Amino acid sequence: MNDLIAFLVELAALGALCYWGISAGGTVVAKLTLGIGSPLAMAVVWGLLAAPRARFQLPRLWLFALKVLIFGITSAALYAAGRSTMAILFAVIALINTVTVTLLRVPQAPRHDGR
């Protein structure tokens, strides 16, 4: 269940960054650049460093710090876009889930069957 919530938080972060980008941009070009670029940047960083099968595996505390940073930026973006209640709600849910999924999870032993 926590993994499902984590996935939904990640999707919400992408959507929130897109919303911020569109609302922050002044011109159509700026709206498109920020609305597409900010979630794309998050997705690239997430895929390389924070995803369960990330290319670069971070130590648990660094992974936690990265997730808190990404979700903190997302909360700040929501706040800046005028969605203060949503920003606070997102921050609380993301933090509780990130602590649960990242810090409290018992590490699994590496598999030897090539997966």
Query: pLDDT at residue 114 above 80?
Result: no
In this prediction the pTM is 0.85
* Widest CA span in the chain: 53
Average pLDDT of span 9-25? 96
Cα angle value 9/71/48 (rounded, 5°): 85
pLDDT at residue 71, as a whole number: 97
Nearest alpha carbon to residue 14 among 87, 71, 79? 71
Contact 38, 26 (CB under 8 A): no
